[in-house]
Amino acid sequence: MLNFAIIGADNYDMILQKIRSEIEDKLVNITCLFATKPGYYFNADTRLHSIEEIGECNQYLDYYIIADNDELYWWNYLCNQIPEDKIILGRVITKYIGFDLFEYLKLKASNISIISDSCWGGMVYHNLGMRFATPLVNTAVEKEDFFKLILNLEYYMSCPLEKYKERSATLPPVGILGGEVKIGLNHYTDFYEGKKAWERRVDRINYNNIFIEMDTIESEKDVELFKQCKYEKKVAFTKNDYSTKSLFYMKQWDDVNVRIKSGSFRGYVQNIISDCPAFPRPMDVEKMLNGSMDYIRM
Amino acid sequence: MDIILYGFTIKTDEVLYNLRKEIGEGSVRVLYIVADAVCNFFDNYRIIKELNSNDIEKVDFIIECEQINEAIKEKYEDKIVSADVLIKNVKFNFLKYASIRKRKISIVSCSNWGKTVYDSLYIPYNTPFIGVQINSEEYLTLIENIDLYLNDELKFGSDNTITTCTYGKLRDINIYFPNDIKFVEAKKRWIHLLDRFNWNDYIFEMDNFLNERQLEEFKDINHSQKIAFYCENGTDASLKAWSDQAIRRKYRWFDDYIVQTAYRKFDGVKPYNVLSLLEGSSC
């Protein structure tokens, strides 16, 4: 049985509702609650501690869930005292519909590096409250360049990111790896900000657990190239059925109502993993990243 | 327990997620999902296009994830549960809910609490005490002799004017109705809902105590199902949070706090659990 502590009580009930199945099955025990504000009144069996006592309780606690609304403050506060991988953000539990605690803990511990050609990877890290273990965050890569990158990942990641183009009035800054692979630094103000972030994150890549993601693949040639990629864990979302596990056929896209609601295919794909998606999720993202075979739901 | 999910929306996904424990244990079985979707299966459940009327008779509940046709809704009122009930309520247990729903419990309430509970749990109203307000002293008199009062005719008190609200008279007791309706309508609704009153299973609720004596009187009433919400210098453990100034500022009135905490997504820790309360266990 794992012992959990809850920090703050703003979302206490909602968190307990989400993990009630694990609590009732006695896989999880909510051992104590650390009060982040004065004046808590409740009759639960959980022990109530003041936040200053956190150091004394460390030995018997496995994970800490931040239930206070001010997550950033308490995240920084806890990071100074306990290892980061023991902290879980409450919003991940309350907002993520298919949240499965044990699948999530497995994913968090696996230190996965998502190599994505769009914002998808960054959004997954953000929505699942995990550390960015990839430099491809807030970036975009053209299809041809992305194939070059994933077919020779270690080489390109060892190359320094050099300036290709600075931000112009309408286009984002662009960097280049090994003189060949262009990286669009879409959400950075200038190239140097993007480069700084890249250098900070590039060393975190875990080559033992790489997950490749591409938003859309449409031509046969691209399908072949994608299959050549040596990493086992990979997915590309497609509008057509290729009967391959790694090429995820978005059946629901055939539904005209879904198309009207979501506008673009890319928008639809990104919506699936967002905090509050508008459609039933065709795949279980946690299972998919963990490499389970049964992640397809429809 | 067999259920059918109507509609294929994000709510369908949430309902399946929230019921995963019951489904896993086998206490709840999803027969199929009714939707006009492009796929035939979702999480191994069949998706079919039309709701079969024979199946409606057989199943325990139909979960409304997408608007159900009004005619079907009216015909099978007792079987339809809004998906919001399963999604929005915290401290929610579907099996407990199902047994309460089947009991058709009537709530006798002096404030909005009863209506809130019915609305949040999507239980069809079966009590005339919906949206009515009664003075605490008169309410105590009424519930002491509930058979006598409810079997008497509701007489005209007043319609809404600048100085008075719409109210009716049950013998010597004033029943205050919402201001936007005339007495004639209010009476019609009162009679309609009174017909549905379940005399075998009803609960008294009171939250507007003015003094200790009233509380003692409420405790002395000879009826097993009753609940009092009160807060007196933090002595009542279940609602002692009311003595906190921050909570008082947030909710303004005690009955507002009680109503808000009865249901729906709630910030923090709910002081009591409505399902356990209606079930009669410790809440």
- pLDDT tens across A79-102, in order? 988 888 899 999 999 888 888 999
Q: Tell me how far CA of residue A62 lies from CA of A28, A83, A254, in angstroms.
A: 10, 10, 45
Q: Which of B64, B88, B112 is the last residue of a domain?
A: B88
Taking contacts as CB-CB distances below 8 angstroms, the residues of chain B near A281 are 13
Residue matched to tokens 């009591």: B272
Question: Residue B125's domain spans which residues?
Answer: 103-279
For helices B136-144 and B212-220, give the axis angle rounded to 10 degrees: 10
B227 to chain A, minimum CA–CA distance in Å?
A: 18
Sheet architecture: strand order including B80-82? B41-42, B45-48, B29-34, B2-6, B61-64, B80-82
Looking at the fold, whether B109 and B210 belong to one and the same domain comes out as yes
Question: Is residue B96 domain-resident?
Answer: no
B193 occurs within a structural domain:
yes
A104: helix, strand or coil: helix
Q: Is residue B98 part of a domain?
A: no
Q: Does B266 touch chain A (CB under 8 A)?
A: yes
Identify whether B185 is part of a domain.
yes
Is the pTM here over 0.90, yes or no?
A: no
Nearest to B196 by CA among B121, B118, B274: B118
What are B185-197's pLDDT values in tens digits? 999 999 999 999 9
Residues of A with CB under 8 A from a CB of B: 9-14, 16-17, 20-21, 24, 39-44, 69, 97-99, 251-252, 254-255, 277-281, 297-298
**Closest residue, chain A, to B269 (C-alpha):** A13
Quote the ipTM score: 0.86
CB contact under 8 A, B17 and A254: no
Does residue B273 share a domain with residue B141? yes
Based on the domain organization, do B159 and B34 belong to the same domain? no
Instruction: Note whether B130 and B253 are same-domain residues.
Output: yes
Cβ–Cβ < 8 Å for A8, A36: yes
Domain boundary among B88, B117, B141: B88
Indicate the number of domains in chain B: 2
The pLDDT profile of chain A, 298 residues, written as one tens digit per residue, is 899 999 988 888 889 889 988 998 999 988 888 888 776 655 556 677 888 888 878 788 899 999 999 999 999 999 988 888 899 999 999 888 888 999 999 999 999 999 999 888 999 999 999 999 999 999 999 999 999 999 999 999 999 999 998 988 889 999 999 999 999 999 999 999 999 999 999 999 999 999 999 988 888 889 899 989 999 999 998 888 888 888 888 888 888 888 888 888 888 888 887 777 888 888 888 898 988 878 888 8
Q: Are the beta carbons of A50 and A35 closer than 8 angstroms?
A: yes
Element (H, E) at A35: strand A28-35
In terms of domains, do B236 and B166 share one? Answer: yes
Average pLDDT, chain B: 85
Q: End of a domain among B88, B122, B150?
A: B88
pLDDT tens, B146-164?
A: 999 999 998 888 887 777 7
Q: Is A201 exposed, middle or buried (0-12, 13-18, 19+ CB in 10 A)?
A: middle
Nearest CB to B244 within list A39, A44, A298? A39
In this structure, which amino acid lies at residue A133? A
Report the C-alpha gap between B17 and B13 in whole angstroms. Answer: 6
Give the residue carrying structure tokens 């511990």. Answer: A109
Q: Same domain for B241 and B147? A: yes
CA distance A61 to chain B (A): 22
CA distance A88 to A105: 9
Q: Are residues B32 and B77 in the same domain?
A: yes
Q: Are strands A174-177 and A161-165 parallel, antiparallel or unpaired?
A: antiparallel
Q: Are residues B252 and B161 in the same domain?
A: yes
Return the sign of the alpha-carbon dihedral for residues B111, B81, A268, A11.
positive
- Joined together, the tokens standing for residue B107 give 């709530």
Measured between beta carbons, the chain A residues lying within 8 angstroms of B37 are: 252, 255
Provide the CATH number for the domain around residue B52.
3.40.50.720
Q: Is there a domain that residue B14 lies in?
A: yes
For residue B13, give the nearest of A11, A24, A280 by CB distance.
A280
Cα-only R_g, chain B: 21
Q: Do A42 and B90 touch (CB under 8 A)?
A: no
Considering the domain architecture, whether residues B80 and B168 belong to the same structural domain is answered as: no
Give the burial string for B78-98 (b: 16+ CB within 10 Å, else e).
Answer: ebbbbbbbbbebbbbbbebbb
Parallel/antiparallel/unpaired status of strands A28-35 and A2-7: parallel
Give the C-alpha separation, B204 to A210, whole Å: 61
User: Is residue A199 within 8 Å of residue A183, measured between CB atoms?
Assistant: no
Examine residue B268 and state whether it is found in any structural domain, yes or no.
yes
- In this structure, is residue B206 part of a structural domain? yes
- Under a CB-based contact definition with an 8 Å cutoff, are residues A172 and A184 in contact? yes
B131 in the same domain as B38: no
- Please tell me whether residues B81 and B180 are part of one structural domain: no
B131 with B264, same domain: the answer is: yes
Residue B75, in any domain of the structure: yes
